[in-house]
């Protein structure tokens, strides 16, 4: 069971096909991060309205641009993506990709990235345009356009 309540609440809303694997990834991260940092899922499923509100940031609303995806064009809208942060000492969030909080000579952020990648997740830090370091997604080979066209089950998740 996922110990971190905010992470657990985010995972519970994700597509049922990725939940067990994500729980395993989180457990692997807990074992790998032996120092002050722990993984927290900060974003998971987003409604179309939530995605449009994020898209408006830095465009029609104040703030920094945080996405190039309008509602319906983000993998988050299909409950197949997560964003993460490292929680330091159980208190503050860090997006420092170079810090080695456990002193094992490997950046904690990159330890998490490698665990996700071992499970076949795509990392936004590998994207050439609009690199999204906290973002991971698993689309099972589907593009966003094909996800839009898939039928949904009784709970509203795309059938993959």
The tally of domains found in the chain comes to 1
Domain annotation covers residue 154: no
Domain annotation covers residue 48: yes
Domain annotation covers residue 50: yes
Predicted model pTM: 0.95
Domain annotation covers residue 122: yes
Domain annotation covers residue 160: no
User: Greatest CA span in the chain, whole angstroms?
Assistant: 47
Give the pLDDT confidence score for residue 99 in this predicted structure.
97
Domain annotation covers residue 109: yes
d(CA 142, CA 81): 13
Domain with 49 in it: what CATH number? 3.30.1380.10
* Pair of tokens at residue 50: 């939530």
Q: 33 lies in which domain range?
A: 5-149
Sequence-distant (≥ 6) Cβ neighbours of residue 155 within 8 angstroms = 16
Domain annotation covers residue 155: no
* pLDDT tens digits for range 81-110: 999 999 999 999 999 999 999 999 999 999
**41: β partners:** 84
Burial 93-104 (b: 16+ CB within 10 A, else e): ebeeeebbbeee
Q: Mean of the pLDDT values across residues 106-132?
A: 96
* pLDDT tens digits for range 65-79: 989 899 999 999 999
């Amino acid at each position: 069971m996922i110990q971190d309540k905010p992470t657990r609440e985010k995972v519970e809303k994700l597509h049922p096909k990725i939940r067990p694997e994500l729980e395993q990834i989180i457990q692997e991260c807990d074992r790998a991060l032996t120092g002050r940092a722990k993984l927290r899922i900060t974003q998971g499923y987003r409604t179309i309205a939530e995605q449009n509100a994020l898209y408006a940031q830095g465009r029609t609303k104040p703030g920094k641009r945080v996405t190039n995806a309008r509602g319906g064009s983000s993998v988050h809208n299909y409950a197949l993506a997560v964003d993460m942060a490292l929680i330091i000492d159980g208190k503050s969030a860090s997006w420092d990709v170079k810090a080695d909080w456990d002193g094992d000579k490997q950046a904690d952020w990159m330890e998490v990235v490698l665990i996700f990648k071992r499970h076949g997740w795509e990392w936004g830090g590998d994207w050439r345009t609009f690199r999204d370091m906290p973002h991971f997604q698993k689309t099972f080979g589907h593009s966003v356009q094909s996800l839009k066209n898939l039928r949904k089950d009784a709970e509203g998740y795309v059938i993959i």
